[in-house]
Structure 1
Amino acid sequence: MPRTPDPIEDGLGSLPPPPPVFHVEQALLGALLLEPHRAAGLTGITVEAFSTAGHAALLTAIRSLPAPEPAEHAKTTTWLNQVLTAAGEQTRGLTTAYLHHLIHCCPQPHHAPAYARIIEAEHSRRLLRGAAHRLIQTTLDTSLPHRVATTLAEAGTLTTIVDDIATRFPTRSGPLPRTPATTPVTTHDEEAGEEERLLLATTTARPVSVERMRWLIPGDFTHTLHAGLWQCLTTLTRRGTPIDPVTVLWEAQHHGIAETAEPRELLGLLSEPDGCDPEHWGEQILQRSLLTTAHHTGRRIEKLTDDPATTTYQLVVGARRALADLSAVRVRWHHATTPPQANAPASKGISAPPRAGPAPTTAPPVACIPR
């Protein structure tokens, strides 16, 4: 009689053992094969929740056939044969012996709802992992025409999945998730450094733009020195202190930044502006920060799902924490790329120069103004 291959008995030691949820699936299917009437009470589980095509085909077949009378089912295998035939039309490899094996794998048929709940929880983990992986890949895909918009759309999909999991698995008391040990991906390429240097020099020459760029923070910069100098510029602006390379250098000394670079080097960095709108460079920096944050968010959630000790409750809490960091950057990106409202108060009656930067869903064009 044909049988389902057993990796252990057949000496396939190189194959990894099935995960615990595989055995839970076997127990649930065994319960339904032994007591088919229990399938009517399992409304929350779908065939997509099963880890193998064979198990999914069996659940579909069980649901598609009317449940037999218990007394008749106890005496004949007619219904089991019908299930095997229906499932065999969807996938290969299922045998009568495997159906009997599933029945023997079920400790308690009346525990079927608990088995289904476990399978749903593991399916939620796989959905979350897949969405996090797609977010990571999107942040790295430089061929996308609207990279930021696509990244934010993937983040929205990920948020929807988290919310759906939270709805189906209500919050209960328990330990908070462990923070996964991930290394933030920080871009230190020459292009990023050059954009940051141009922003610092241009805003030093035209400091009125610093006040309009409250959406940019030191954490958006890839270089520690540049982040510190931006903090100096925002501090001087807040105080109303005159801004030029010398005053920024003096403020840098108070921030301990002057110790990391020669004064002449800092003066040179701050004294070479270009003709572009400072906000153009600011949006470039913020865009890179948003993509980096989205990438790190995806990796944090992926790490959570990879840890089998993480419960469904902990997955929801951990994922929402990670998404909150991305949401904060997204709010600032919205402020940066949305035109100011008509009723926004003007600064001392002087209208701001035209913005040169990207639309919310496109990479910023290089638009410069004469010096």
Structure 2
Amino acid sequence: MNPLLEAEQAVLGAVLLAPGQLRQLGWLAPEHFHRPVHQALFAAMRKLHADRHPASTAENSAPLSWVTDAVEEAGLHVRGLTASHAHALISACPRPGHAPVYGRMVLEGAIHRSVTAHAIRLHQAARADALQGEVEGALRCADVLRDVLNDLARRWGTEPRPVAPVTPSAPGPVTPPPSWASQVAEDEQILLGVLAERPTSMDEVVGWLRPDDFAAPARGEVYRCLGALHHRGEPIDRITLLWEAQRRGLLADGTLSSDQLAAICDGVGPGSAEWLGEQVMRSSVTRTAAASSRAIRALAENEALAPGRLINQALHALAPLDEVRTRWQSANDRPAPTPPAPSPNGPPSAQVHAALARSAPRPVSPPSAPPGSSPSPAAVRPPSRGHG
């Protein structure tokens, strides 16, 4: 059986047996459960507990009314839940005192699912923006993803901070739709022609446009050559551009050819370098958003990656998009959003509470334990944290 499914059943069975366990599961939410019926049942028990159900303060084992009332409340929101199902969940719980550990497993699965879902939304938004010539949808999805990662870090009990993977994976190139690719190639080609023909136009774009913003690496290298000539204050024309490309080894390794450079220099038409640069930047934003989403999805689908590492490495994968976004906003004279400053007093108390609640569960002693008896080692041994 799926370990995650067993963990969901175990934590629900633990709360059905001992409602007081809910006091140690404040960081666990109904949406963290994968199955809708489990979500409804956990939400129902939280509601009954908040409404001070008589069983929530029971010293001994929970009365039968706790189970029947929880099933009845959950049945208002989901179909197919019966009392026999609830008793099956109780049977699936090895030890009610381990409820925080089972809840940690449920939360871990929810973190992987949530990050995967939001990475997919970011990729879809980037593709849609690319086709429509926009960037706002992808940037909004990136903001939502970052907020989700910060929230998950708080629930997991860690401080969100970008951390590079130990063995970074190189995602494959993002393949743009044909209609988008042709327009991007045309804009890049015209922009390079304008910059080669009117070198003073470099001042309009050099502050925020980078070679990596070009979809084709060869055109990015041409822009790098133009930038080098501009930086040294040397004249720019077809001959000097060809010479700079040769000095950089671009002709020898086949990155560029003299015919390509001639086509760029001779194919210039009317156009604004600033406007064309913004078009190149726009496509760079959507391509980078798609690449970041693919990297984050690959991280989230790695079940062996601990949640803390997943969250921090996903934040690191968003860094290239943040860098391109800052330059895009600079090109459009928009202030970049200010990231939240870390707390000078360490992680918030909610994070500390979540970490301690997961890592040091208090086992529920049997109500009829004989005096002087010692608890079993499994009941008192705290689980390993396993945080990333």
| Uncovered stretches (5+) of structure 2, i.e. residues with no partner | 336-388
- Decide whether aligned partners of structure 1 residues 36 and 201 sit closer, same or farther in structure 2, where only a CA change above 3 A counts: same
Please state whether the residue corresponding to 1:309 is helix, strand or coil.
coil
Q: Does 1:192 align with 2:184?
A: yes
Q: Is the 8 A contact 2:193 2:266 kept in 1?
A: yes
Alpha-carbon distance between aligned partners in 2 of 1:125 and 1:85, rounded to the nearest angstrom: 31
Q: Is the 8 A contact 1:218 1:230 kept in 2?
A: yes
Q: Is the 8 A contact 2:174 2:291 kept in 1?
A: yes
- Decide whether aligned partners of structure 1 residues 293 and 270 sit closer, same or farther in structure 2, where only a CA change above 3 A counts: same
Q: Does 1:50 align with 2:33?
A: yes
Deviation at 1:55, TM superposition (A): 1.1
Report what 1:311 is aligned to.
306
Report what 2:351 is aligned to.
none
Report what 2:143 is aligned to.
156
Deviation at 1:193, TM superposition (A): 2.1
Q: Does 1:203 align with 2:188?
A: no
Alpha-carbon distance between aligned partners in 2 of 1:130 and 1:101, rounded to the nearest angstrom: 30
Alpha-carbon distance between aligned partners in 2 of 1:265 and 1:40, rounded to the nearest angstrom: 69
Report what 2:270 is aligned to.
275
Q: Amino acid of the residue matched to residue 271 of structure 2? A: C
Please state whether the residue corresponding to 2:318 is helix, strand or coil.
helix
Alpha-carbon distance between aligned partners in 1 of 2:95 and 2:223, rounded to the nearest angstrom: 65
Q: Is the 8 A contact 2:129 2:136 kept in 1?
A: no
Please state whether the residue corresponding to 2:330 is helix, strand or coil.
helix
Deviation at 1:139, TM superposition (A): 0.9
Deviation at 1:239, TM superposition (A): 0.5
Report what 1:129 is aligned to.
116
- Decide whether aligned partners of structure 1 residues 64 and 156 sit closer, same or farther in structure 2, where only a CA change above 3 A counts: closer
TM-score, length basis structure 2: 0.76
Q: Is the 8 A contact 2:164 2:316 kept in 1?
A: no
Please state whether the residue corresponding to 1:141 is helix, strand or coil.
helix
Alpha-carbon distance between aligned partners in 1 of 2:274 and 2:130, rounded to the nearest angstrom: 25
Quote the sequence identity (%): 33
Report what 1:138 is aligned to.
125
- Decide whether aligned partners of structure 1 residues 274 and 83 sit closer, same or farther in structure 2, where only a CA change above 3 A counts: same
Higher relative contact order (CA 8 A, sep 6+): 2
- Decide whether aligned partners of structure 1 residues 269 and 320 sit closer, same or farther in structure 2, where only a CA change above 3 A counts: same
Alpha-carbon distance between aligned partners in 2 of 1:266 and 1:324, rounded to the nearest angstrom: 33
Deviation at 1:49, TM superposition (A): 1.2
- Decide whether aligned partners of structure 1 residues 143 and 258 sit closer, same or farther in structure 2, where only a CA change above 3 A counts: closer
- Decide whether aligned partners of structure 1 residues 253 and 316 sit closer, same or farther in structure 2, where only a CA change above 3 A counts: same
Alpha-carbon distance between aligned partners in 2 of 1:91 and 1:295, rounded to the nearest angstrom: 36
Q: Is the 8 A contact 1:304 1:315 kept in 2?
A: yes
The ranges of structure 1 where at least 4 consecutive aligned residues each deviate by more than 4 angstroms after the TM superposition are 69-74, 142-146, 174-178
**Aligned pair partner of 1:107 in 71, 94, 97:** 94
Q: Amino acid of the residue matched to residue 168 of structure 2? A: T
- CA RMSD between the two structures: 2.7
Q: Amino acid of the residue matched to residue 239 of structure 1? A: R
Alpha-carbon distance between aligned partners in 2 of 1:231 and 1:240, rounded to the nearest angstrom: 14
Report what 1:241 is aligned to.
234
Larger mean CA deviation between 78-87 and 282-291 belongs to 78-87
Report what 1:358 is aligned to.
none
TM-score, length basis structure 1: 0.79
Report what 2:13 is aligned to.
30
Deviation at 1:116, TM superposition (A): 1.9
1:283-302 alignment, distance < 5 Å: 283-302=278-297
Deviation at 1:238, TM superposition (A): 0.6
Deviation at 1:177, TM superposition (A): 5.6
Report what 1:20 is aligned to.
3
- Decide whether aligned partners of structure 1 residues 339 and 23 sit closer, same or farther in structure 2, where only a CA change above 3 A counts: closer
Larger mean CA deviation between 290-299 and 241-250 belongs to 241-250
Deviations 1:54-82 (A, max 9, x none): 112221222333142647756x5333222
Alpha-carbon distance between aligned partners in 2 of 1:168 and 1:329, rounded to the nearest angstrom: 30
Q: Amino acid of the residue matched to residue 30 of structure 1? A: G
Alpha-carbon distance between aligned partners in 1 of 2:333 and 2:224, rounded to the nearest angstrom: 24
Q: Is the 8 A contact 1:73 1:79 kept in 2?
A: no
